[in-house]
């Protein structure tokens, strides 16, 4: 009689728990680094829009730059909050 197999992969998750944990940590670290890099980029773009807005006198252009600033700043804040939650 053939043995019943639960999985076609050798070993189970329990048997490979250390390898699974190591891989999860490795991938999580890469994701956190990407979030941090992207948050920094969004913050820089927000700062650029704000400085341009402060230099512009035309109301229409100021309104566009203000909205751009708000969107980039909100995106950066969201990413930064996500990073702070992951550290807890």
In a domain, 31, yes or no: no
Total domains present in the chain? 1
Instruction: Please write the tens of the pLDDT for every residue from 27-47.
Output: 999 999 999 999 999 999 999
In a domain, 52, yes or no: yes
Portion of the chain with pLDDT greater than 70, in percent: 80
- Which structural domain range is residue 50 located in? 39-88
Q: Find out whether 35 and 79 touch, Cβ atoms under 8 Å.
A: yes
In a domain, 14, yes or no: no
Global pTM reads 0.71
Which CA distances in Å does 25 have to 19, 29, 31, 32, 41? Answer: 10, 6, 10, 10, 24
Token pair 């699974």 in the structure block, residue: 20
In a domain, 49, yes or no: yes
How high is the mean pLDDT of the chain? 86
Which CA distances in Å does 32 have to 40, 52, 63? Answer: 12, 30, 33
The whole-number pLDDT of residue 60 equals 96
**Residue 88, pLDDT above cutoff 70:** no
């Amino acid at each position: 009689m053939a043995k019943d197999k639960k999985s076609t992969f050798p070993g189970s998750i329990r048997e490979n728990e250390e390898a699974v944990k190591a891989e999860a940590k490795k991938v999580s670290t890469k994701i956190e680094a990407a979030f941090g890099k992207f948050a920094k980029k969004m913050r820089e773009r927000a700062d650029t829009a704000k400085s341009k807005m402060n230099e512009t006198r035309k109301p229409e252009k100021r309104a566009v730059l203000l909205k751009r600033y708000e969107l980039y700043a909100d995106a950066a804040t969201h990413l930064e909050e996500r990073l702070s939650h992951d550290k807890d």
